């Protein structure tokens, strides 16, 4: 008989020992994210009803104020983490500054900070296209017992202890890593339970999909222009297929399953690129590497960049390792 799929809850308990500090706190953080993801999922799925129950900024028929979904998701994730008293600080793409979170007795004894993009690609909500949540967990570097400082958040990506995303798509999935491979869990909405559906997710070394906003072509660096032309050339297994949703989590998820590369380069319009190092690129880079892929800023490893500010932007090349390496080759020609 086929073995029943594990639930995320069972999996978290089973894997707790694998985590080097194994105090149970990290498991509780993943549990909090699991809960918040279900709440946000419920709301995202109702987004299409906004025209019926009232648009953001208006009151719905029950007289409740409607809220923008990204603001809502931000509040849900922050409140869920605060309520469980397991982190000492949170930084979010939606907030200018980080939030200090005190422990149970008003102390500062918690050890972890969470950084997140609560609803990435939110402009896609209005057109019924998948969006996602991205999160990243670090151990604080300042002494336990003192309030968190900026230093606790400005750590290079290779210090992450966990990272993941939730994709609110045709089905809702939570995909995460704690540095022991990548596993994906699919939500059964009927009973509100995530089941292990994609164990040990892997990027193939080569792929046939390239994902980049080609509307910006004219503004791209020459290395990226040349790489795009290379993808389109008739030779060997090329031309590749072009796929771009404009929702990082969705583009990444598809490329991890099918093999491909995602690129958001610098451009003359956005000299540092668009994506945020701490909330988007580092967590995706950690997942990519854990799945056998590669993540680069065009010249070097994303996870080795020492962040200088919370909302720092970086160019992002991420996906199947040989594809990212090839793009880097083109970039190097014009360095």
Please give the full DSSP string across 221-261, using - where no structure is assigned: -HHHHHHHHHHHS-BTTBSPEE---S-HHHHHHHHHHH-EE
Which residues fall within 8 angstroms of residue 125, CB to CB, at 6 or more apart?
A: 44, 47, 69, 119, 131
- Consult the annotation and say whether 115 binds a ligand: no
Selected binder of ligand AHM within 111, 274, 294, 321 (CB under 6 A): 274
120 counts as binding Mg ion under rule CB under 5 A: yes
Contact between 122 and ligand AHM per CB under 6 A: yes
Among 94, 108, 120, 328, binds ligand AHM (CB under 6 A): 120
Which of Mg ion, ligand AHM, none sits in contact with 246, Cβ below 5 to 8 A by type? ligand AHM
φ, ψ of residue 124 in degrees (nearest 5) = -80, -15
Q: How far is the CB of 222 from Mg ion (least distance, A)?
A: 27
Name the residue among 189, 160, 140, 116 with its Cα closest to residue 285: 160
Calpha distance 106→225 (Å, rounded)? 54
By beta-carbon proximity to Mg ion, the closer residue of 316 and 330 is 316
For every residue of 24-61, DSSP letters joined together read SHHHHHHHHHHHHHHHHHHHHHTGGGHHHH--TTSB-T
Binder among 117, 152, 251, 289 for Mg ion (CB under 5 A): 117
Q: Is 269 annotated as a binding residue?
A: no
Answer with the entry of Mg ion, ligand AHM, none that 94 interacts with (C-beta below 5 to 8 A by kind): none
Determine phi and psi for 316, rounding to 5 degrees. -140, 125
H-helix or E-strand spanning residue 285: helix 282-290
- In the list ligand AHM, Mg ion, none, the entry touching 122 (Cβ below 5 to 8 angstroms by class) is ligand AHM
Choose which of 89, 118, 121, 184 interacts with ligand AHM (CB under 6 A): 121
List residues forming the annotated binding site for substrate. 120-123, 213, 244, 274
List residues forming the annotated binding site. 93, 117, 119-123, 213, 244, 274, 280
Residue ranges in contact with Mg ion by CB under 5 A: 117, 120
Residue ranges in contact with ligand AHM by CB under 6 A: 93, 117, 120-122, 213, 246-248, 251, 274
């Amino acid at each position: 008989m086929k073995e029943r799929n594990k639930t995320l809850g069972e999996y978290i308990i089973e894997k707790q020992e694998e985590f080097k500090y194994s105090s149970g706190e990290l498991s509780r953080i993943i549990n909090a994210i699991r809960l918040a993801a279900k709440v946000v999922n419920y709301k995202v799925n109702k987004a299409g009803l906004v025209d019926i129950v009232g648009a953001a900024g208006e009151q719905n028929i029950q007289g409740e104020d409607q809220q923008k979904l990204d603001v809502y998701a931000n509040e849900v994730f922050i409140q869920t983490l605060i309520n469980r008293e397991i982190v000492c600080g949170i930084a979010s793409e939606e907030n200018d500054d980080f939030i200090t979170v005190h422990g149970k007795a008003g102390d500062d004894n918690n050890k972890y900070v969470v950084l997140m993009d609560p609803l990435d690609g939110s402009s896609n909500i209005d057109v019924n296209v998948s969006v996602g949540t991205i999160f990243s967990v670090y151990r604080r570097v300042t002494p336990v017992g003192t309030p968190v400082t900026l230093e606790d958040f400005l750590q290079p990506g290779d210090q992450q202890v966990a990272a993941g995303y939730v994709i609110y798509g045709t089905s809702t999935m939570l995909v995460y890593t704690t540095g022991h491979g990548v596993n994906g869990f699919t939500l059964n909405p009927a009973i509100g339970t995530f089941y292990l559906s994609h164990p040990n997710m892997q990027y193939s070394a080569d792929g046939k999909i390239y994902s980049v906003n080609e509307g910006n072509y004219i503004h791209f660096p020459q290395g990226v222009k040349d790489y795009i032309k290379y993808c389109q050339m008739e030779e060997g297994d090329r031309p590749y297929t072009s796929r771009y949703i404009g929702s990082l989590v969705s583009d990444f998820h598809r490329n991890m399953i099918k093999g491909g590369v995602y690129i958001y380069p610098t451009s003359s319009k956005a000299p540092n690129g668009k994506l945020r190092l701490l909330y988007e690129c580092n967590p995706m880079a950690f997942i990519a590497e854990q799945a056998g892929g590669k993540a680069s800023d065009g010249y070097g490893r994303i996870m080795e960049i020492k962040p200088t500010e919370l909302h720092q932007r970086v160019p992002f090349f991420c996906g199947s390792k040989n594809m990212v390496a090839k793009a880097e080759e083109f970039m190097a020609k014009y360095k």
